[in-house]
Every structure is written in C-alpha cells, then in structure tokens.
Chain A
Amino acid sequence: MERNEVIGFLQALYRSTKTCADHLRSEELRLLHVDTAVERFVASKLADDWVVLVTGNPGDGKSHLLLAVRERLARAGIEFILDANERSDADLMTFIDRRLQTGKGAAIAINEGTLFDLLRSAGSAAWARTVHEQLTRPLSYRGEELDLPLKILVVDLNLRNNLSPTTLSSVVERFIGSIQPCSLCPAAGCSAVRNARRLRDPDIRQRLVQMMSRVAVTGIHATMRDVQAFASFLVFGGQSCEVAASGRNGNKDYFTLAFDGGVGPLFDAVRRLDPRNIPHPTLDDRLWRGPMKASEWIGEEFARPALPMGQAVMDRLVAFERLKRCALFEHRSGEAILRERHGPEAAFERVLRESSELGTEHIVRRLNRFFDRHEDRGDSLFLWTTHRYDARATRYAATLWTLPASRLEILRPTVVTHLKDAFPDYYPDHILLVARGRAPYEGLRIDRALFTMLESVEQGLPPTYQTAEPARRIGAFYDTLARAADPSEGHVHAIHLIDMETGNKMQLRVNTRRRVYEAG
C-alpha cells in the first residue's frame, strides 16, 4: 500500500464501517491484524477437528479472526463460513450435522442473534442443546465446568478483553508503526505525526495502556473496531490530511483527543477518567506553580503546554487542564492520578478487580440501606418486603427474616474452563451476591448501574429518588432468599417495621400460636 493510502485507511477507522473484514483487502487486513490468544485457541481446536462457532457483536472481529486463522491453517479439509447471515438456517444445520458426522473441523462466524435463531430452528438436535448451554452459560462462578459431549464449541468474542494491556499495546504499536509523514505534511510534520512520535515512546505508551486497562474494569465491552477507532482518533483527531495540513480545525495533541471530541461508548468511558476531574493535590500544585524541570517528564525532548504567567486566571486554568491531561501520560508521577479516583465508579472498579476488596458485608450493608437509611449493620441482610397493589411506591416495609451475611457470598465470574486459554485477559463486568450453596442464577447481579445506585443510597439518596428497576432486581433476589429462609424458631416472631420516608422503625413481637402480641 502507498504511504498516503495507508494514512487514509487508518484515518477512516474512526467512525467507519469499512472495517468489516469482508470489505477489506488482504493488505488492509494484515495492517490491522493483531495476534490474540483466541486466534491461537481457535486454530488449535480446528486442527483437532472441532466445529467452532465464533460469535459476538458486530465489530468484534469474527470474520477477521477466521480469515487470519484460515491463513495460518493451510490444511485441507477445514471449512470456513465467514458470514453465517448469507446462509439459510437449513443450510447451516446441514453443514453442522455433516461436519460433526464426518469428524472434520469447521469454523463459522455467526452473530449471536443469528445463532439463537438457528438454535430455535434446530430444535432438539443434540448439537443445538450443547451449543445453547455454552451460549447461555459462558461464565463460571464456582469453577463449574460444562460437559462437551460433541466436538462443537462456541467461542464468544464478547469475552475477549480488547482493552487488555497485551491487545491494546499490539494495536497501538501496529498503528503508530504505520504512520509516516505523507506528501501533504508540512516540513515539521502534522499533529498526527507528532502524536505518533510521542506514542512511540514505550513509557508513554505504557501509560496509555494503563489508563485503558482502567477503562476495561468499568464494565464496558469495547469491540476491536471500537479500539481501532479510538486509536485512529487519538492520532488523527478524526480529520483528513488535507484538513490537518490547512490547520483549519487546529491541531490537537493525543492527550487532548483522548478526552475531547470522540463519539461513542468507549470515548464516554474514557472521559470518566479525564484528569481534569481527578484532583491530585501535590501534582496539581506542582503543575500550577511551575516551572517544571525537563527531567520531571517522560520523553524530555517533547514540548509541553505552557501555563501563561500574568494572564487571567481562567486562561491559565484552561492551559492547566491541558497540562494535567498531558501529565497523565508524560509526567513521571502522572500515573498517580488514576490512583486518586474516588466515588462509586472507582469503588466498583475495586470490587471487580478483587471481590474481597469490599466484601460481602459491604454489599449487605448497602442493600440494608436501600430500605433503611439508618442501618449500619452489614453482618445480616434484612429481607425487607413491601406489599401494595397500587402502582405508587409504598412507604412502609416490613421484615420477618434476616439472613447472616456469612450465609452469603460474592462470586466473581471467570470464563468457563474450556475457554480459559482463549480469553486469558477476560475481565468481568459484574459480580454476584448469592446464598452459599445456591445456584449462581439465583443470585443478585451487581453491575455498574446497580452498584452506583447502592452507593448513591449510601450517600443519602432518598427513596423517592430511587428508580424502580433496581428495586425489582433486589426484590426478586429477596424472593429467592425468602423461599429458603427459615423464620425465627418457635412461635414468637420479631417483625421489623420501617417508615421509609422518615427512616423511623420499630420492632414488634407476635406469638403466632397464641395469636397475641408480646412485649419487647
């Protein structure tokens, strides 16, 4: 590919649909290709004559992956279907049946929705049952393993962490390795060339990778296409060489582009880590007062934003924010900025990273506070019940049961054993709170939305401002717990009553055998 052609192709990766593997030429594919564990895994399974169904979201790189595997496995006898959408269900079912009967390997790139439709058409076929199970149980919470009675395997690229250090490093390396000044570049090089030059510095690149790893743990799934689009925007800012050369839109540094102007869920997730919003007293003070020594920075030869002295404070503040963003990647202490994050999002990251970070009692306490704003206990979960037929939220709740927190556990999902080699960098987007000994699907799925809401309650969000959806999830969880709960022994029950509006509560004892209220 010509140099200008390469640059044009990379620029178009931001908000482009041309990255669908079916539409790419082989040299373009090679330019983008990053070898990941899943590719090696699929290749090894195909070599062992498995039928592999590669599924995932659009942009996850299903066809791309199979094209790369096909190149790697030049062996005859393995068949590839790069887009299952082009085949009828009947055709696909016959194909799978035939491959399983003959014991020959095959790979099919198939969207998850299409695969569900295929399974509905396949009905009770043995392969459909195991595929359905694999599709709906891709995660393991207590080390459960799936039976694989047939040599057919689902590989869901949703599980691939494209923001893992290994994958992201490879994407960025490939990307900036291809960027050279083109024929339109001014003598000093355009902003894209300057950005690429800075990102070639391994320490700066390492900072970028660290930041993106933090993004991964916020629970976002970034497709390979998202990552490529991000890399493209980071370097080019979404503008062509002609526009960049004209200087019409201004030339922006990669550390500004990382947080400014990009459109999409990945950009939104990155913006949550914008250093402008993360105070770091000592570094902020150092940056504000200046002047800085060159040795304080990685890549001493690069120019940094300057803080204009003697100007209006707002101008100085704008320049400071730019410098702070730069510092995240290039100041020797910049890494500390990410460690300084607080609030629900950061707390959730910690929970995902290490479930023992906050522990069962932490979650139990927050669930208790969902109903009772004054409750400090985390050692027991109060199974509050509200009951009303009217649509409006009820003011009073009652509970007959508590469940010791020790009877609950937090489970962190991992990829099922047979796929571990395919997704070594898998990162969960949720945890489960579940009663010990109960099936994981009976647990409470705590994702970012629910966790953030519980944290808001902890900080005093009144019940009237809580949305009803979390209450439904929590209620459904309590229902499953109540089914197994054993009311207090004997015939005297302690009922806790609460007025959720005022936070007032009381306890009442009832002797159900004698049908009387009791003192105490």
Chain B
Amino acid sequence: MLTIGRVLNGVFDDEVGWRPATGAVKPVHVANGLFRALCSEYWDIEGVVEFVAWQKYGKPIPERSFEALGERRQDVFRAFSGNRARFERVRRYARGIVAADRAVFPDAAKSALTIACREMISRDDMDKGVGTFAAALLGDPGTGGSLAAAILRALTVETPQDPVTALVWPLISSHTRREWKPAVRTLALERRHATDTVAALRTAADCLANHELRQGNRLRTLQRGTLFTCLAIHSHAQGIAAGGEIRNRVPGLLAIVGGKNDSVAAVSERALDLMYSQFESWLATQLSKRLETGQSLDPHHRPAEPPLEVPTNLSQARRILDRILTAGREPRQPDDTVKAARQANLDYHIQQLGRDNLFNALASALVSSYVTEYESGGPRPFLQGLGRKSGLLYPPYQGRSREKRIRPTVAMLDVLVRATVQQGQIVPFDEFLQSLWRTFGLIVGVRRGEPSDEELLARHGLRIDPDQLHDNAEALIDQLAYMGLAKRLADGITYVGDGNAA
C-alpha cells in the first residue's frame, strides 16, 4: 500500500532525478553517492568503522574493544600491543579525521566516511540519488577534461600520498570491493524543464574540471567536486521550479554584507523561501499530471506500486487521501486526526484552485500532507540542509532560526569562481555576475543586463535600497580580493579569477 512518504517518489525519480526526502542529508552523503556512481563500486568499510566507531548509544561495543580488535586483527594492530592508552588515543584522532563529517555509525553499511580514496566509499544511500544524478551531470568519466574524470582520478590511489589515506591504509582492503549498479534516474536530466539549467551546470562543471586538472591536492578536488554537486542540486531545484525558464527563476540573493537583521539578509531569506515554495508548487503540478493520467506514484518501488484510481469527483479524491498510509517505519492507516488534516488541506486547495482543478487540488493536498507528515523531511529541509551544510547558506548549523540566507563560505566562493572563470583567466566583475546568475541563479544585486538584478527582485516582490545592494557587491569584491580571487582596478572596475595571482 502506498504511504504518504512515497507519494512523490515517481515525480522525484522521473522528473527531478533525485529524492529530496530527508533533512538529514549531508555533503559527505553526496560525496559517497557521487563517488560510488562514478566508480560503479563500493567497499565494505567495516574495517575502518569498527576502529573509529566503538560505541553504540554511548556504551562500548565489546567486539570493538582494544582486546577484541587486537585479537581479531593482530597483523594491523600489533604495534599497539600492550599499549591500550596509545591505541585509544589513535582511534580518537582517527575518528576526528575519517569521521570528520559525523556520518559514521556502528553500522558500516549506513556510514559515510570522510572519503579520501575510493576504498573508503560505502553502500550508504543517504544521498537519495543525488550521487547518481550528479555523476551523469558531471560528464563522461572516460573523457579527460570532464569533472567526472578529474574526480575519478583523484579517488584512485596506488599508494597513499596524503595523510588521510595513509591513516586508514591498514584498515581498508581491496578484497572487499563490490560492484554497484545505479538505479536509472538520469532521464530527468533530459527533461525540457531541466535542459537549460543542466546545460549551464555542465559548462560550469567543465570549467571547474579545468582548474582541478592543474592543481595538486587530490583531497581538494574531491571536496570541490562535492561542493559543486551540492550547489548544482540547489540550482537544479531552482531551475525546474521555474519550469525550466531561466528568466523566471526566483533569484538567490547573496547576502555578503551585514548581519541577520540587515535588509539584504532579510531579502535573501525571503527569496529562498519563495524559491522553496515555488519548488513545492512545481512538484504538485507534476504530481497532478500523474494523477490525471493514471500513472503510478512510485513506479520504481519493489514491488511495483499500482496506479491510483483516477478521481472524477471530490468524494473520490477524499477517499484517496484517506486510504494512503502514514509515513514511518511501520505505516498504518491514518487515524482521524491525520485524516482531518488531509481533508483540511484538500478543502484549502479546492478553495484556492476551484473544483474544476480537482487534480491540482488533490496533488497540492498530497504535497502539503507529505510535507507535514513525513518527519524525515521533504524538499525544503533537504535543500536547506544540504545548502547550509555545504556552505552555500548561512548559518551552517540548524539553530533556532528557521530562516537561512545565501552567504557562501570561503570554500563555496572558491568553487563559484572556479566554476565560472577559466583557470588562469580573469574576467570583469560584471561578466562574473552574469555567469553566477546564468549558471547558479545567484545574484548580488548590482548586475545589469536583461533582466537586471533589480528587476528580478522586483518581479518577485522583493525590494531593497540600491545603496545596500551596492555595499553588498563591494563586500563580495573585498572578500574575493582577500582570498586572492579578485583585483580592484581603476574606476571601480574589478576583475575576478585566479589569473590575479602574483
């Protein structure tokens, strides 16, 4: 039976390409999924996990004690024989390094290490299909100049050349390799509503690849490839939410200047909120098409989910809502409270859209119910969580404040520049801003052109003093200049890129 947590799976798989279905997603999950898709393989990382995750619910796991591991893996840990204190100290440090992203748990299959080489990739699927989707986006791994190829090269290690790989080298084994076949979700890349965004993101990926092929730290390539993917997912959602019309995207305003109470921050938060709402509305539209044409809402589920009956009147729509099971580990028939809430959702959307739009109203009610009932988190928590944990949104922690604004970290700004300005080149600031908008839907507020940033903001009812936007742009230039990625020239002209190096 269909559960409320699965009603959007068909849309996610066939139209979006990834499932924004958990607020707990982390960039390291994306890294794990992306690398696994690029390599078409994963490893049993039990050897690493049993060393760095020795407690469960705060209690020691006996099989992972100093004695047990020393006994079981004598060869590896002989150097610590009789020196428990040193063993425990090493594993604490090792945990800090290879579980730096806090996604390692006692169960190795559900853990994602802070990956430094391909033998650290696990089967964990918390990325919700993002990795597979992104692997197809980043180009052909067999083509030298693609970002996919750059990442694949960075993952492949004959002997450790960095401290993280060296640290886990005794714990990983090439014998635990498993083949991995991705679910086919890449059709979504070819959808008309994604075409322009995907094309722009592919160009950006190639641009970033150009940088990566010329720099010397594999770990930075892995990190930037992952951050780029997180950024691309956000931009992809923004693009398809606008039905693929790049001009109609809700602009993501970078809020570089000022603090939380600043009006630039407030507009940035509002713009994000609008973007997420637009995305949810778009999902409802896609779901409505499925309901109307009698398609299964979760066609890739095993066993296959049969299509719902096509409702012809409001009563049938109400029955459909009542029959869908609740979310959670043990789905149940909805109780009266849940039913009432779903019906209230339907009533609201009928009121908004009219009885003639029954499919839209039902789809919107299903999306509203999904968002409120599905505790793992829907599109908004997914995008917001990934955005803040990857450093696109600020603050990076959950915190009390529900609102987040777009304020990239230094690492994310670095990615934005490398993905829009060719290696060794510099481009005028205006040109950089055009690329930011075209590729990632991001603005800083001073871009001219058709439409200008000011027009874009006004189109979505977002108004702000131009002087503050000017200050915002200046703050961005200052930050880029401090990072060595921008140079101010005469008459207020700034050039951006790593060609500014000494």
Contacts and interface: CB of A to CB of B under 8 A. Distances in A.
B314 interface: no
Given A388-B101, A391-B411, A497-B97, A472 B167 contact: no
Contacts of B492: 113
Contact of A116 (B102, B390, B397, B489): B489
Interface stretch (A165-173, A202-210, A338-346, A439-447): A439-447
Contacts of A496: 163
Interface in B359-391: 388-391
Given A112-B490, A387-B219, A390-B390, 5 more contacts: A56-B490, A385-B163, A388-B114, A445-B501, A497-B93
Contacts of A56: 490
The 9 closest A-B pairs by CB, nearest first: A483-B216, A113-B493, A391-B391, A398-B163, A396-B96, A111-B490, A468-B410, A479-B217, A389-B27
B28 interface: yes
Interface in A115-133: 116-117
Nearest to B81: A519
B396 interface: yes
Contact of B167 (A58, A445, A495): A495
A516 interface: yes
A261 interface: no
B402 interface: no
A394 B100 contact: yes
Nearest to B115: A389
Interface stretch (B60-68, B220-228, B257-265, B456-464): B220-228
A387 B164 contact: yes
Contact of A472 (B26, B397, B414): B414
Contact of B166 (A117, A388, A400, A472): A400
A303 interface: no
Contact of A389 (B28, B80, B166, B482): B28
Contacts of B490: 55-58, 111-114
Interface in B456-502: 479, 482-484, 489-493, 495, 499, 501-502
Nearest to B390: A391
A47 B77 CA distance: 79
Contacts of A35: none
A494 B79 CA distance: 14
Considering residues B30, B77, B226, B501, which has the most beta carbons from chain A within 10 angstroms of its beta carbon?
A: B501
A312 interface: no
A111 B489 contact: yes
A473 interface: yes
A449 interface: yes
Contacts of A111: 489-491, 493
Interface stretch (A95-103, A285-293, A349-357, A504-512): A504-512
A480 B216 contact: yes
Is chain B's binding surface mostly helix, strand, loop or mixed?
A: helix
Interface in A345-392: 385, 387-392
A56 B491 CA distance: 10
Contact of A398 (B89, B164, B170): B164
B264 to A, nearest CB: 20
B409 A391 contact: yes
Nearest to A158: B490
B491 A468 contact: no
B359 to A, nearest CB: 40
Interface of A: 55-58, 111-114, 116-117, 136, 139, 385, 387-392, 394-396, 398-400, 430, 432, 440-441, 443, 445, 449, 468-469, 471-473, 475-476, 478-480, 482-484, 487, 491, 493, 495-497, 499, 506, 508-512, 514-520
Contact of B90 (A114, A390, A484, A506): A506
B76 A385 contact: no
Interface of B: 26-28, 30-31, 75-80, 89-90, 93, 96-97, 100-102, 114, 116, 159-164, 166-167, 169-170, 215-217, 219-220, 223, 226-227, 388-391, 396-397, 409-412, 414, 426, 428, 479, 482-484, 489-493, 495, 499, 501-502
B170 to A, nearest CB: 5
A58 B491 contact: yes
A362 B389 CA distance: 37
B39 to A, nearest CB: 17
Given A469-B410, A469-B479, A389 B160 contact: no
Contacts of B412: 391
Contacts of A512: 159-160, 166, 169
Contacts of A510: 160, 166-167, 169-170
Contacts of A484: 216
A303 B409 CA distance: 57
B109 to A, nearest CB: 19
B167 A398 contact: yes
A203 to B, nearest CB: 38
Contacts of A520: 79
Nearest to A411: B502
Contacts of B226: 389
A511 B78 CA distance: 12
Nearest to B397: A392
A17 to B, nearest CB: 13
A445 B495 CA distance: 18
A25 to B, nearest CB: 24
Considering residues B75, B160, B226, B502, which has the most beta carbons from chain A within 10 angstroms of its beta carbon?
A: B502
B218 to A, nearest CB: 9
A359 B100 CA distance: 36
B114 A389 contact: yes
A242 B428 CA distance: 46
B502 A390 contact: no
B76 to A, nearest CB: 5
A508 B483 contact: no
B96 A499 contact: yes
Contacts of B170: 510-511, 515-517
A487 B502 contact: no
B493 to A, nearest CB: 3
Given A116-B495, A391-B391, A468-B410, A482 B166 contact: no
B306 to A, nearest CB: 39
Contact of A396 (B100, B410, B479): B100
Given A57-B490, A58-B491, A449-B482, A472 B411 contact: yes
A493 B484 CA distance: 33
20 contacts: A116-B428, A385-B164, A387-B223, A389-B30, A389-B31, A390-B101, A398-B164, A398-B167, A445-B501, A468-B410, A480-B215, A482-B217, A495-B163, A497-B163, A510-B167, A512-B159, A515-B76, A517-B77, A519-B79, A520-B79
Nearest to A388: B100
B491 A113 contact: yes
B162 A389 contact: no
Contact of B97 (A58, A387, A472, A516): A387
B491 A387 contact: no
A208 B482 CA distance: 32
Contacts of A136: 499
A430 B500 CA distance: 14
Nearest to B98: A387
B27 to A, nearest CB: 4
Contacts of A469: 410, 479, 482-483
Contacts of A479: 215-217, 220
Nearest to B28: A389
B389 A390 contact: yes
Considering residues B160, B215, B489, which has the most beta carbons from chain A within 10 angstroms of its beta carbon?
A: B489
Contacts of B163: 385, 398-400, 495-497
Contact of A390 (B100, B161, B495): B100
A502 to B, nearest CB: 11
Contacts of B499: 136
Given A116-B489, A440-B502, A390 B26 contact: yes
A504 B391 CA distance: 28
A199 to B, nearest CB: 31
A515 B219 CA distance: 21
A471 B410 contact: yes
Nearest to B163: A398
